[in-house]
Amino acid sequence: MTSPVIELDHVSLGWRDRIAVRDVTGTFERGSLTALVGPNGAGKSTLVKGLMGVLSPVRGTIRLAANVDGKVACLPQVGDLDKTFPITVYDLVAMGAWRRVGWWRRVSTAEHDRVQHALETVGLADFGRRIIGTLSGGQLQRALFARLMLHDAQVLILDEPFAAVDTHTTEDLLALLHQWNTEGRTVIAVLHDLDMVRSLFPKALLLAGQVVGWGDTNQVLTPENLHFARHLCAGDYL
């Protein structure tokens, strides 16, 4: 029997007088693989910020299971990363280990081996000394996946991990994501490709400022629910 790893109880999220996500109640089960979908402006990234603890609920409560507190890691949108900052790929990936080693300590031999293994896993074994600003979009996303590996978290939240990424890179990173889930990790990914969601993600949360559907993907991504979500985001039913 599965158990909740994240519970949301009537959660509303937003800033000042604007509520972007309202009255969300539900659970992400341990070891689940869930796609977070919805039209533009649905509040997907806002919900991610709430799950990560970056944004506190205006109302309601978000609870993490006791044994995963501090073991949640996020892969942000590539656009949120300052690619002009002169950091190497190696150092970017090594940042994923900060909970274990702290910000200012030297990387130990064991952590160095972990960084090298992560780079090899994502196909960037020879890119460690490259400055991140020289990478293509697909290479940068591979580096961010490698950094996520260094977190060694039980819950992984990915915000549009395959946006502007070529097909070959998407296939490689999808395989890695499924490997993490097979290892028992809980994976939540913000996605736009509904065909990908239907074929590869057993669970889906359809958001449109509120929950339109949450559960088995084939029951959530119905034409009726998708139609309703589009109109909600357009303001037709608000």
pLDDT of residue 69: 59
Query: Taking 80 as the threshold, does the pLDDT of residue 47 lie above it?
Result: yes
Tokens of 155: 């819950």
> Which residue ranges form the domains of the chain, and what is each CATH number?
1-71+154-238 (3.40.50.300), 78-152 (no CATH)
Tokens of 96: 């994923």
CA distance 195 to 213: 17
Instruction: Write down the H helix ranges in the chain.
Output: 44-52, 89-94, 98-101, 109-121, 137-151, 167-182, 194-200, 217-220, 223-234
* Residue 102: band (very low, low, confident or very high) from pLDDT cuts 50, 70, 90: low
> 């506190």: which residue's tokens?
56
Q: Is the pTM of this model over 0.85?
A: yes
Q: Which residues pair with 204 in a beta bridge?
A: 35, 215
3-state DSSP assignment of residue 162? coil
pLDDT of residue 109: 84
pLDDT of residue 179: 96
Contact 190, 214 (CB under 8 A): no
Q: Whole-number mean pLDDT of the chain?
A: 91
Burial bucket for residue 113 (CB in 10 Å: 0-12, 13-18, 19+): exposed
Query: Taking 70 as the threshold, does the pLDDT of residue 4 lie above it?
Result: yes
Average pLDDT score over residue span 25-42:
96
* Residue 67: band (very low, low, confident or very high) from pLDDT cuts 50, 70, 90: confident
Distances (CA, A) of 126 to 95, 99, 119, 139: 18, 26, 8, 12
Tens of pLDDT along 117-176?
Answer: 999 999 999 999 999 999 999 999 999 999 999 998 999 999 999 988 899 999 999 999
Least confident of 58-62, 65-69, 180-184, 186-190: 65-69
Contact 67, 11 (CB under 8 A): no
CA distance 34 to 201: 6
Query: Taking 80 as the threshold, does the pLDDT of residue 107 lie above it?
Result: no
pLDDT of residue 213: 98
Q: How many CB atoms lie within 10 A of CB 228?
A: 17
pLDDT of residue 77: 85
pLDDT of residue 238: 45
* Residue 116: band (very low, low, confident or very high) from pLDDT cuts 50, 70, 90: very high
pLDDT of residue 39: 95
Instruction: Write down the H helix ranges in 25-103.
Output: 44-52, 89-94, 98-101
Average pLDDT score over residue span 172-190:
96
